[in-house]
Amino acid sequence: MAGPALTPDTGRDAATLLREAEVRAERTVGTLRMAVSAALALTFLVAVLGTVPEDNAMLERQLLAAGTTLGTYFLFGAATVRLAGRHRVWPWLGWVFAAVDVLFVAVNVHLTARNTGLPTNFGAGFPVVWLAPLVLAFGALRYNPWFQGFQVALLALGLVLMIATGELHDVPQDSTPAALGYFFGVPPNAMRGAMLLLAGVVLVLAAARARGLLRRALEEARRRTNLTRYLPPQIAGRLADLPAAELRAGRRQVVTVLFCDVRGFTARAEGMDPAALSAFVTGFRAAITRAAECTDGVIDKFVGDGAMLVFGVPDPRPDDAARALACAEALPREVAAWDPAVRVGVGMHHGPVFCGAVGDDSRLEYTVLGDTVNVAARLEQLTKSAGFTIVASADALGAAGIRPEAEGWTPLPAEPLRGRNQPVKLFGRAPR
């Protein structure tokens, strides 16, 4: 099937599509920041404010800091959504967003420790610490393992700095409750940190795997889109699913081929301006497409005012010839419905052909070749001199289950066609 060459850079590449996916991911993450802030604020109002004792300056400062934190994080999410909605999320800005998420947690842990006067080994009990898993999960939505690794590294650095620069106190084992030391001592805190970092590593691997899957999916979608721009969907699916080497090997199979051409097109085209000629050809091709679609035929190619249709590719069916005959009868009707002044000639033949891809990787075309194609083209040309709209071979009519003489077909003189030594038994008929 001859057509425009498919080049590797046709359409948008995977990098562009990944970039668009990352912008959408930032918009999703920004929305989640707002949702998390709102949910935590609601929980804060319901579960905390009603239980705060009066005249406790430390708790009042802590509540003020919590409210400010949630409000700031909500605004940060809103700003992200706005920037992403306007496609102003430049590549470097994603790194800033990732850093802000982690720094938001680290700064609030530090402020909580200063406000409460608690040593840093109690930091695992601060509510804001457990926002860290959410922050790491946000990173997994970006389809970028580098962002995820960057966040895990920042988080690990923050934990190390908090321990190295903070004040560490052992919790007395005889305090009330006595088991408090088992929950806030150095060993359990180390376990919490290890679990958090391991979760981050898992999310890094998840992000890398998701990005790889996305890239492969985008490449496959781009390849299929490129093919369907130039080839029928039935053929594009075959090209996309099979290796190029197998496609080039091709195969022989029996098909039915139709050629359709506008009568008197050259004289008509001489009097048309380019815009009118373009509209004429577009309308003609739309009529051909309708006839092919209603009979499940494959349009091999359009050439000027003509078209080649094939029935039996990519895979043969028992009713290929019958559908081809139905299409041959539908073509003149569809063209007349579009423009009653336009007449067409249709040639139809049935037989073996070569089906496969030809060309190299930079210009790969799926084509149907062989004597059957040549005969069908000659029969379309014969409609001009024979005076019939449709000229079909006895092989095509027989494969369609038609008895020509009994069903209104007129026998034509058996004569060798141009390019062939053996005569072909032919029949002609005007459309019903």
pLDDT at 34: 87
pLDDT at 112: 74
pLDDT at 174: 52
Q: Which two tokens stand for residue 243?
A: 């290796």
Angle subtended by helix axes 132-140 and 14-47, to nearest 10: 160
CA angle 274, 279, 280 (to 5 degrees): 95
Closest CA to 296 of 269, 276, 316: 316
CA 176 to chain centre: 60
- Listed in sequence order, the residues at least 6 apart from 116 whose beta carbon sits closer than 8 Å to its beta carbon are 58, 62
pLDDT at 373: 93
Q: pLDDT 10s digit of each residue in the chain, 432 long? A: 444 333 334 345 556 666 777 777 778 888 888 887 888 777 767 766 655 556 666 667 767 777 787 888 889 888 888 887 776 666 677 788 888 888 888 877 777 777 767 776 676 677 677 777 777 777 777 767 787 788 888 888 877 777 666 655 555 555 544 444 544 555 556 655 665 666 666 577 667 767 776 777 777 666 666 555 555 666 666 565 555 555 566 788 999 999 999 988 887 888 888 898 999 999 999 999 999 999 999 888 888 889 999 999 888 999 999 999 999 999 999 999 999 989 999 999 999 998 877 766 556 677 788 899 999 999 999 998 888 999 999 999 999 999 988 888 999 987 677 666 778 899 998 766
Fold of the domain built from segment(s) 241-429: Alpha-Beta Plaits (3.30.70)
pLDDT at 170: 55
pLDDT at 4: 37
Identify whether the C-beta of residue 299 lies closer than 8 Å to the C-beta of residue 309.
yes
Q: How far apart, in whole angstroms, are the C-alpha atoms of residue 121 and residue 6?
A: 63
**HEC sequence for the chain:** CCCCCCCCCCCCCHHHHHHHHHHHHHHHHHHHHHHHHHHHHHHHHHHCHHHCCCCCHHHHHHHHHHHHHHHHHHHHHHHHHHHHHCCCCCHHHHHHHHHHHHHHHHHHHHHHHHHHCCCHHHHHHCHHHHHHHHHHHHHHCCCCHHHHHHHHHHHHHHHHHHHHHCCCCCCCCCCCCCCHHHHHCHHHHHHHHHHHHHHHHHHHHHHHHHHHHHHHHHHHHHHHHHHHHHCCHHHHHHHHHCCHHHHHHCEEEEEEEEEEEECCHHHHHHCCCHHHHHHHHHHHHHHHHHHHHHCCCEEEEEECCEEEEEECCCCCCCCHHHHHHHHHHHHHHHHHHHCCCCCEEEEEEEEEEEEEEECCCCCCEEEEECHHHHHHHHHHHHHHHHCCCEEEEHHHHHHCCCCCHHHCCEEEEEEECCCCCCEEEEEEECCC
Q: How far apart, in whole angstroms, are the C-alpha atoms of residue 180 and residue 94?
A: 40
CA angle 342, 344, 345 (to 5 degrees): 165
pLDDT at 73: 81
Q: How far apart, in whole angstroms, are the C-alpha atoms of residue 255 and residue 283?
A: 27
- Listed in sequence order, the residues at least 6 apart from 233 whose beta carbon sits closer than 8 Å to its beta carbon are none
Question: Which amino acid type is present at position 206?
Answer: A
- Listed in sequence order, the residues at least 6 apart from 187 whose beta carbon sits closer than 8 Å to its beta carbon are none
pLDDT at 169: 54
pLDDT at 5: 37
pLDDT at 231: 57
299 forms beta bridges with: 309
Q: Which residues of 184-197 are buried (b: 16+ CB within 10 A; e: fewer)?
A: bbeeebeebbeebb
Domain ranges of the chain: 14-226, 241-429
pLDDT at 35: 83
Identify whether the C-beta of residue 150 lies closer than 8 Å to the C-beta of residue 138.
no
- Listed in sequence order, the residues at least 6 apart from 350 whose beta carbon sits closer than 8 Å to its beta carbon are 254, 255, 256, 257, 320, 321, 324, 372, 393, 395, 396, 398, 399, 400
| CB hemisphere CA count around 207 (13 angstroms) | 25
